[in-house]
Chains A and B, each alone.
Chain A
Amino acid sequence: MQQQGKKKPELQKTKLVESEDAVFDLLESLLQEVDANTVNVVETAVETLAKTDVKPQAKQEIKSETQPETKEQPKEQSEQKVELKTELKTGLEVDVKSENVKIFEQLPLDVQERLITQATEELKIKNSLPEWVGHTLPCLLIDVENFELAVPLVLLNGISEWNQETLSMPNQPDWHLGVIEYRGENVVIVDTARLIMPEKITQTVNERRTHHPSHFLRIGQNLALSCDAIKETVSLSQEEVRWRIKRTSRPWAVGTVIDRLCVLLDTDVLVQEIEVN
């Protein structure tokens, strides 16, 4: 136990140095989640800071902003105001940031460690997200072999019922269900289930090609994913997904939609896998 106690400061130091700026930004938001007492300390500190350092400048700015609009301000005065604003903003940011560092250093060691762990984890998640992940993520929920999957709409080039004539081609991989003409182009339909959950498939390749799924989603240039049903669209926030940081296995599963316990599919990775194969 004593050894663990000794190691703690070293751990914090290392982590802070690795990604100091990013961690402090995240800490600022994380501080809100700490005990009510700690939050009060933060608020009091920020209030004090605002009252002491900023008050005279802030007053000046407020005064100039509240002047009647009818009176045109001279150009120089306006430029000065912009400069003043910038200086004030930058000064405030620096002061608040350094104040946060002070507050952070005053927190108990275990809270510091927890905040650093949380911040580092969030940072890892942020860095691991695919570039198509925005603040909100509209997704299409589909059904494949009784498994619900979420597919980001931003990665789709089309959704259609599969009622076109399908061309079967010889000597193709098991996941190749056939070629159809869709919007004037030849598109290969991929057996989604065969790609991502081959262990769940009991039918033979021929059976799956004959009794194929009812819909397909066009991804990439000339590929489409087969699916048994289109369910609904949902708009997800980043917090509604448990993101997979390391995607060494099942790289196409970018995360889990927590509410629905379904996989969020990265179709770009599926396309890459198909191309590699």
Chain B
Amino acid sequence: MTADEDDEIQTNDPEIQLVTFRLKDETYGINVMQVQEVLRVTDIAPVPGAPHYVLGIINLRGNVVTVVDTRMRFGLPQTEMDDLSRIIVIESEAQVVGILVDSVAEVADLRLSEIDSAPNVGNDESSRYIQGVASRDNNLLIVVDLNKLLSEEEWAEMSMF
């Protein structure tokens, strides 16, 4: 492959990096550019009157960060937090929030062409944040569009807890 051909592939089919995490038995991936840091689970203070998918708030070096219960948001059964549980601090829609996941796996390199659109089943609002699926090491990886994890109003509310 010549250098020009390589450049063309880079332009038409850019490589992206995803931070992968586990929820129940599946692996999910989110754009590494939106990840600020990964934290061990610390004291999460519940917030009275908060929506069910808001687990609470944490104090991150003097800043209050809202933590979303990703299992709850994805409609997965609840489980106890353990040593592997992590809070991924992400930035999306100009808001910094934490998402609680079962564990963080790795940073995966992927070409955009490797992401297939997810099969569309009905008009389930909860699945709108699934950007697609990619096959990796004989396993499926669900690519999540963080910007669509919450609605516009829900994102705006994230800084208000």
The interface bits of chain A over 89-108 (1 if a CB of B lies within 8 angstroms of the residue's CB, else 0) are 00000000000000000000
Query: Are A256 and B161 in contact, with the CB atoms below 8 A?
Result: yes
Q: CA separation between A196 and B47, bound complex, in Å?
A: 10
Query: Are B57 and A261 in contact, with the CB atoms below 8 A?
Result: yes
A231 located at the interface, meaning its Cβ lies under 8 Å from any Cβ of chain B in the complex: no
Would you list 13 pairs from A and B whose C-beta atoms are within 8 A, ordered by A residue?
A148-B45, A197-B48, A199-B52, A249-B160, A250-B49, A253-B48, A253-B49, A256-B57, A256-B161, A261-B43, A261-B57, A261-B59, A261-B64
Chief secondary structure at chain B's binding surface: mixed
Query: Are A249 and B157 in contact, with the CB atoms below 8 A?
Result: yes
A212 located at the interface, meaning its Cβ lies under 8 Å from any Cβ of chain B in the complex: no
Query: Are B45 and A261 in contact, with the CB atoms below 8 A?
Result: yes
Query: Are B45 and A262 in contact, with the CB atoms below 8 A?
Result: yes
Query: Are B49 and A197 in contact, with the CB atoms below 8 A?
Result: yes
Q: CA separation between A165 and B46, bound complex, in Å?
A: 33
- Which partner residue on chain B sits nearest A244 by CB separation? B160
B58 located at the interface, meaning its Cβ lies under 8 Å from any Cβ of chain A in the complex: yes
A260 vs chain B, min Cβ distance (A):
8
Chain B interface extent, by class = 10 to 19
> Chain A contacts of B59 at CB under 8 A?
258-259, 261
Residue among B59, B63, B161 facing the most chain A CB atoms (10 A cut-off): B161
B62 located at the interface, meaning its Cβ lies under 8 Å from any Cβ of chain A in the complex: yes
> Chain A contacts of B64 at CB under 8 A?
242, 256, 258, 261
* With contact pairs A242-B64, A249-B157, A258-B64 given, residues A147 and B57 touching in the complex (Cβ less than 8 Å): no
A42 located at the interface, meaning its Cβ lies under 8 Å from any Cβ of chain B in the complex: no
Query: Are A200 and B45 in contact, with the CB atoms below 8 A?
Result: no
Query: Are A258 and B48 in contact, with the CB atoms below 8 A?
Result: no
Query: Are A200 and B48 in contact, with the CB atoms below 8 A?
Result: yes
Q: CA separation between A257 and B113, bound complex, in Å?
A: 47
> Chain B contacts of A126 at CB under 8 A?
none
- The answer, among A147, A244, A245, for a CB contact under 8 Å with B48, is A147
A142 vs chain B, min Cβ distance (A):
12
Q: Which of B25-83 contact A (CB under 8 A)?
A: 43, 45-49, 52, 56-59, 62-64
- Which partner residue on chain B sits nearest A261 by CB separation? B45
A15 located at the interface, meaning its Cβ lies under 8 Å from any Cβ of chain B in the complex: no
B67 vs chain A, min Cβ distance (A):
11
Query: Are B160 and A258 in contact, with the CB atoms below 8 A?
Result: no
B142 vs chain A, min Cβ distance (A):
29
A246 located at the interface, meaning its Cβ lies under 8 Å from any Cβ of chain B in the complex: yes
Query: Are B48 and A263 in contact, with the CB atoms below 8 A?
Result: yes
Q: CA separation between A72 and B52, bound complex, in Å?
A: 75
